[in-house]
Chains A and B, each alone.
Chain A
Amino acid sequence: MSSPSQTPTGQIDVDRLKLDFPILSRPTHGKRMVYLDSAASSQKPAVVIDALANFYRMTNAKIHRGVYELSELSTAAYDEARDKIANLINAASPRECIFVRNTTEGLNLVASSWGRANLHEGDEVVLTVLEHHSNIVPWQLIARERGAKLRFIDIDDEGRLRLEQLDDYLKSGKVKLVGVTQVSNALGTINPIAKISAKAHAAGALMLVDGAQSVPHMPVDVQTLGADFLAFSGHKMLGPMGSGVLYGRRELLEAMPPYMAGGDMIRTVELYESTWADLPQKFEAGTASVADAVGLGAAVDYLSEIGMAQTRQHEKEIIRYALASLREVPDVTLYGPEGDDRAGVVSFGIGDVHPHDIASILDGEGIAVRAGHHCAQPLMTRLGLTATARASFYLYNDETDVDRLVDGIMIVRRIFGLGA
């Protein structure tokens, strides 16, 4: 199916597509805004904003409980959103998709619920130095509680995982879970998840994937990847803030104890004990963020119409252009690998200018980039840095945005007297 935002050759027509995003026509500091922080949070197309508003206008009611029409409609809308997500990631059943607030909550759910039930003294969990804090800190907490041990796969100089270390770690026979981000939020490295999961499974370990930076940007199929768990955020994929998903293989989720307890997640409650609702309700205690889920469903529709493969292809071309352009600029240092295993994220430095100064000056030019440690302090330490500036791209960015970034960097250089 061809979308109106595609050229006849199937490429994304960015000029046309930008019009779908109201915020992109909002000037910043009097200039056309160039939004290069989608790795932190994406902007939203009007169809998503409308889906949210229309839900509250037309459908809003508590799900599951009511027998009246609105409640039935609300429940149906929520279930439909879940079906769309299951379809997007090729889950065997929508029951395997738990709505959470964000990737962080999904990862905490696994660490707390699965970890508490399955990790024992001396067990090991393998993570990587590329992980976002949200796939490190929950494991630190549960490892301390359970007497388990964390091990970390290092990177090479280009920012690719040194997978021979995984082989070494797996030899101990104590590894119960391998947790890896599919795409590094700081370096843009795309990790070979299918290869890693095959190794993990051969050693009897489960595979957890942080999909926060992959699901919004490329085709992700949990079955092909061999993911036992996959967490991702709706707000990074054109959906509302506060929407996110944890995918888990059904038999694993069924064996796990609840994460949070309360309304909607029970079958029966007595004073001293209770039984749990079936999946996915068992992990969705309390009133769900139904409108946000519905908004996420609209975002999935929008992305599906354009196509995840086309989205990936578009970003591949943008990052290739960005890396080539930035490489030409004196004093610019680029981080991360080059090649097909590079997502649309580029961390960079300019001489010895502090990244926050870079970001402030770019802001003045109407360009939004992130500066800091990107919630990946262990990675920054590994790279010998305290911070970088980061530009990240999405389907609404094009080469003119890259050109504006380069112009902005020239202004940073001039203000700081570089190359003078």
Chain B
Amino acid sequence: MADLYREQILDHSRNPHNFGEIEDPDFTYEDSNPLCGDRVRIDVKVEDGIIADIKFSGRGCAISQASASMLTDMMKGKEVDEIRKLTAEDMLDELGIQISPARVKCALLGLKVLKSGAYGLTDWPHEQ
């Protein structure tokens, strides 16, 4: 179980990357995980089909905040279309930890928020 809290996850949750808000985002979305009240908002600035800037804000457990932080690192500079291609599995692979069923929504909240903001999809990524 200590694996769940490996150093990289703790680093991201303590010192999240791309934390904050974008003043004039092209899209923004916020959602929460009703189970534990984790809350994540993601702002995205798009230039020529490329994610020029991406920031997240929110609060919640280490898993939800670390995965949102890692997601912003992954997507910065990528084509917007990549958001559609990104799967729940990709996100869990990136986290590199064994996520129990009870915590999978914590791990995927950021991805859900990003997909919702990009193309209005509001299902959980792992339930599609």
List residues of chain B with CB within 8 A of the CB of A194.
none
Whether A357 contacts B63 by the Cβ 8 Å rule is yes
List 14 A-B pairs, Cβ < 8 Å: A29-B1, A353-B62, A355-B61, A356-B63, A357-B5, A360-B4, A361-B1, A361-B2, A363-B1, A386-B59, A387-B37, A415-B2, A415-B5, A417-B14
Which B4-52 residues have C-beta < 8 A from chain A?
4-5, 10, 14, 35-38
- The answer for the CA separation of A387 and B21 in the assembled complex, in Å, is 25
Q: A354-B61, A356-B106 in contact; A364/B36 too (CB < 8 A)?
A: no
List residues of chain A with CB within 8 A of the CB of B35.
356, 372
Chain B residue at minimum C-beta to C-beta distance from A412: B5
List residues of chain B with CB within 8 A of the CB of A415.
2, 5, 10
> Is A416 an interface residue, CB under 8 A from the partner?
yes
Q: A357-B61, A415-B10 in contact; A364/B37 too (CB < 8 A)?
A: no
Which A374-420 residues have C-beta < 8 A from chain B?
386-387, 415-417
In the assembled complex, the CB of A49 is this many whole angstroms from the nearest CB of chain B, namely 26
0 or 1 for each of A268-303: is its CB under 8 Å from B? (1 = yes)? 000000000000000000000000000000000000
Interface residues of A toward B: which range?
10 to 19
> Is A373 an interface residue, CB under 8 A from the partner?
yes
- The answer for the CA separation of A386 and B60 in the assembled complex, in Å, is 9
Chain B count of residues within 8 A CB distance of the other chain: 18
- The answer for the CA separation of A415 and B11 in the assembled complex, in Å, is 11
Centre residue among B36, B38, B60 by max chain A CB count within 10 A: B36
> Is B128 an interface residue, CB under 8 A from the partner?
no
Interface residues of A (CB under 8 A from B): 29, 353-357, 360-361, 363-365, 371-373, 386-387, 415-417
Interface residues of B (CB under 8 A from A): 1-2, 4-5, 10, 14, 35-38, 59-63, 100, 103, 106
Whether B37 contacts A373 by the Cβ 8 Å rule is yes
Chain B residue at minimum C-beta to C-beta distance from A373: B37
List residues of chain A with CB within 8 A of the CB of B61.
354-357
Summarize A's interface: helix, strand, loop or mixed: mixed
Q: How many A-B residue pairs have CB under 8 A?
A: 54
Which residue of B4, B10, B60 contacts A354 across the interface (Cβ within 8 Å)?
A: B60
Ranked nearest first, the 8 interchain pairs of A and B with the lowest CB-CB distance are A364-B1, A354-B61, A356-B61, A386-B37, A356-B36, A357-B62, A415-B5, A357-B61
Whether A364 contacts B106 by the Cβ 8 Å rule is no
In the assembled complex, the CB of B113 is this many whole angstroms from the nearest CB of chain A, namely 18
- The answer for the CA separation of A417 and B38 in the assembled complex, in Å, is 21
- The answer for the CA separation of A353 and B13 in the assembled complex, in Å, is 10
- The answer for the CA separation of A386 and B39 in the assembled complex, in Å, is 11
Q: A357-B61, A360-B4, A364-B4 in contact; A416/B106 too (CB < 8 A)?
A: no
In the assembled complex, the CB of B5 is this many whole angstroms from the nearest CB of chain A, namely 5
Chain A residue at minimum C-beta to C-beta distance from B61: A354
In the assembled complex, the CB of A387 is this many whole angstroms from the nearest CB of chain B, namely 6
- The answer for the CA separation of A365 and B4 in the assembled complex, in Å, is 13
In the assembled complex, the CB of B114 is this many whole angstroms from the nearest CB of chain A, namely 21
In the assembled complex, the CB of B107 is this many whole angstroms from the nearest CB of chain A, namely 11
Whether A355 contacts B36 by the Cβ 8 Å rule is yes
Q: A354-B61, A354-B62, A372-B35 in contact; A361/B5 too (CB < 8 A)?
A: yes
List residues of chain B with CB within 8 A of the CB of A356.
35-36, 38, 60-61, 63, 103, 106
Chain B residue at minimum C-beta to C-beta distance from A372: B36
In the assembled complex, the CB of B7 is this many whole angstroms from the nearest CB of chain A, namely 10
